[in-house]
Homo-oligomer: A and B are copies of this chain.
């Protein structure tokens, strides 16, 4: 039976990515060699890296605007360290918005570098909403935010206007919705949601913000060194980068971000409508901040959990349990999850209502 994979990440990718990826592991480009055994400096892999980097800028609408795309390693967690290493001036300060566990982890690392001003936080409300009406100090070296909070099911629908560089962790919603990406100066994202296999980290950076911190930056953390080396400063995560290229090609062939955004909205509307309609369920995130990627919801009566769990498993759904900090359920609806999978979940929720209420 086909699985309906709601995993929060690593997560579902397009079927053609699995098929082309598996083929490349056996024989890449009819070379007689596996993609796992070729040099990262071979013509074939350099072409993969170059096309992937170019496609990122094309899909984000950032071509010719002074940005560079890099495929690094270490996940968002290493970016928590690289961002202040590159951008926080000696004796400078940074401004962070605290919207969830990952934002909070980014803040902890920044504090090792210097004054870190948390402009607002929804921690006291278990991060169930995105704070508003905060002030970003004009003298901070940069402002950092997290566009989508996977664990708590919230998503920033707008971004503050400021004159300082804006840095955004888009790990869990990059390439899912149309934004004016030129409003951001640095975007980073672990690959393993909307982009490809775990092991690659995308960084998109406006070059003009670099080289100004006055810090001595360890080589492997220095964005300028990675740019100069065309994202080959050291051996990249070859196969993970290839899966990113395949996923980006799939996205381009499916109408790019504008095309996928419509489908993502349809999926989110379908599920949230049911959460709101069905008397057995309730959402956990503030309605205006609900994420189109991760819908978090609870049963009003926990005693229905065993039967609901049995029903969705029976329907071929996997990866639905919520994160331990929220409980209940989390339906992650990344780009590659088809609308049909959401319909299956909604049908199960309706079925539960019938069973319980009749």
Smallest Cβ distance from A317 to chain B, in angstroms? 12
Q: Which residues of B contact A220 (CB under 8 A)?
A: 74, 77-78, 80-81, 109
Q: Which residues of B contact A33 (CB under 8 A)?
A: 3, 5, 318
A334 to B218, CA, bound (A): 31
Interface segment among A153-161, A174-182, A191-199, A342-350: the answer is A191-199
A75 within 8 A of B: yes
- Cβ contacts A1-38/B at 8 Å (1 or 0 each): 11101011111110001110111011000011110111
Contact of A10 with B238 in the complex, beta carbons under 8 Å = yes
Contact of A235 with B192 in the complex, beta carbons under 8 Å = yes
Smallest Cβ distance from A341 to chain B, in angstroms? 12
A221 within 8 A of B: yes
Which residues in window 21-65 of A have CB below 8 A to B? 21-23, 25-26, 31-34, 36-40, 42
Contact of A10 with B26 in the complex, beta carbons under 8 Å = no
Which residues in window 165-206 of A have CB below 8 A to B? 190, 192, 196-200
Say which residue of B2, B13, B42, B73 sits within 8 Å of A34 (CB atoms): B13
Smallest Cβ distance from A160 to chain B, in angstroms? 27
Number of A residues, CB within 8 Å of B = 64
Contact of A17 with B36 in the complex, beta carbons under 8 Å = yes
Contact of B109 with A218 in the complex, beta carbons under 8 Å = yes
Smallest Cβ distance from A49 to chain B, in angstroms? 12
Q: Which residues of B contact A40 (CB under 8 A)?
A: 10, 198
Contact of A236 with B198 in the complex, beta carbons under 8 Å = yes
Say which residue of B18, B76, B240, B318 sits within 8 Å of A237 (CB atoms): B240
Contact of A199 with B239 in the complex, beta carbons under 8 Å = yes
Which residues in window 311-355 of A have CB below 8 A to B? 318-319
Which residues in window 108-123 of A have CB below 8 A to B? 108-109, 112
Which residues in window 218-252 of A have CB below 8 A to B? 218-221, 233-240, 243
Contact of A233 with B77 in the complex, beta carbons under 8 Å = yes
Contact of B237 with A237 in the complex, beta carbons under 8 Å = yes
A216 to B76, CA, bound (A): 20
Chain B residue nearest to A42 in the complex (CB): B7
Contact of A77 with B5 in the complex, beta carbons under 8 Å = no
Contact of A37 with B219 in the complex, beta carbons under 8 Å = no
Say which residue of B37, B81, B318 sits within 8 Å of A10 (CB atoms): B37
Contact of A36 with B197 in the complex, beta carbons under 8 Å = yes
Contact of A32 with B197 in the complex, beta carbons under 8 Å = no
Contact of A5 with B37 in the complex, beta carbons under 8 Å = yes
Q: Known: A77-B220, A109-B219. Contact between A199 and B10, CB under 8 A?
A: no
A278 within 8 A of B: no
Contact of B235 with A10 in the complex, beta carbons under 8 Å = yes
A162 within 8 A of B: no
Smallest Cβ distance from A276 to chain B, in angstroms? 28
A105 within 8 A of B: yes
Q: Which residues of B contact A13 (CB under 8 A)?
A: 34, 36-37
Smallest Cβ distance from A111 to chain B, in angstroms? 10
Say which residue of B39, B196, B198 sits within 8 Å of A235 (CB atoms): B198
Extra 8 A-B pairs, beta carbons < 8 Å, given A3-B31, A13-B37, A18-B37:
A3-B32, A17-B36, A80-B218, A81-B220, A105-B219, A109-B218, A198-B239, A240-B240
